[in-house]
Amino acid sequence: MPAVKQAPTRQAITLKGSTNLVTEFFKYAANTILFQRGVYPADDFHMVKKYGQTVLVTQDLALENYLDKILTQVNKWLLTGSITQLVLAIISKDSRLTLERWVFDVNIMDQDQPSGPPKPAPIKPDSEIQAEIRNILKQIVSTVTFLPVIDEPTVFNILAYTSESADVPADEWVDTDPLAIEASKSQQVKLRSFSTDVHRIEAMVAYRYEG
């Protein structure tokens, strides 16, 4: 009888692999938000192929360096499990009011397990992870159908919520205002989520609505 060659089975994704996936997702999500919400001119972006679709990425060197610096630190916090939430806030340049707050909650998968002997989790296919990320990015693009039109100059800020034990570089990160929108003037929309074998990312957007 001829030997049958077994197809290689994928190993469960490692913490480092998951961390890199999540960090990369944040990069493309931030770029998509900044483009879709007009924080930077459309000419500042170019198209790249990612997750089986076209996504827009900044060509502005200062913005690219700023995001890379932030995401390098976020990557370190993800590795140590000390980041719980990342927020991209869009702020009116003139009034300094927060117009939108894009929130990404970071959960560690094995923390949700009940007590007792750990059960081996089913290994999630890469294709499924990519599809979930693709769906979030598409949803961010589609939010322009319901988010209020921003017709004023804006700036943005990125906030990271970390555990008390997190190592925070004092020269780069400072305690700051949460840039919240008053509850009476805020509407929220829950977005899709994605998960790896290690992390689960839940997304939502809150926006100022004075109707």
Q: How far apart are CA 136 and CA 52, in angstroms?
A: 13
pLDDT at position 88: 98
Cross-strand partners of 58: 45
Please report the pLDDT score of residue 47 as a whole number.
97
Half-sphere exposure of 73 (CA within 13 A, CB side): 19
Task: Give the tokens for residue 60.
Answer: 């502005």
Total-model pTM: 0.89
Statement: residue 6 has pLDDT above 90: no
pLDDT(108) > 80? yes
Angle between the N-to-C axes of helices 126-142 and 15-36, in degrees from 0 to 180, rounded to the nearest 10: 20
Q: What is the 3-state secondary structure (H, E, C) of the chain?
A: CCCCCCCCCCCCCCHHHHHHHHHHHHHHHHHHHHHHCCCCCHHHEEEEEECCEEEEEECCHHHHHHHHHHHHHHHHHHHHCCEEEEEEEEEECCCCCEEEEEEEEEEEHHHHCCCCCCCCCCCCCHHHHHHHHHHHHHHHHHHHHCCCCCCCCEEEEEEEEECCCCCCCCCCCCCCCCCCCCHHHEEEEEEEEEECCCEEEEEEEEEECCC
Fold of 15-208: Cell Cycle, Spindle Assembly Checkpoint Protein; Chain A (3.30.900)
pLDDT one-digit tens code per residue, 46-57:
999 999 999 999
Mean pLDDT computed over 194-201: 96
Q: Which of 29, 81, 85, 80 is nearest to 58 (CA)?
A: 29
Backbone angles phi, psi at 209, to 5 degrees: -135, 110
Q: Predicted confidence band at 18 (pLDDT cuts at 50, 70, 90)? A: very high
User: Which amino acid is located at 10 in the chain?
Assistant: R
Mean predicted confidence (pLDDT) in 142-153: 95
Q: Is the pLDDT score of 211 beyond 90? A: no
Cα 49 from Cα 141, distance rounded (Å): 16
* pLDDT value at 129 more than 50: yes
20-45 pLDDT per residue, tens: 999 999 999 999 999 999 999 999 99
Residue predicted with more confidence, 169 or 13: 169
179: left (phi over 0), alpha (psi -120 to 50) or beta: left
- The average confidence (pLDDT) of the chain is 90
What is the per-residue pLDDT across 164-191, written as a single tens digit (0 to 9) for each? 888 888 777 878 889 999 999 999 999 9
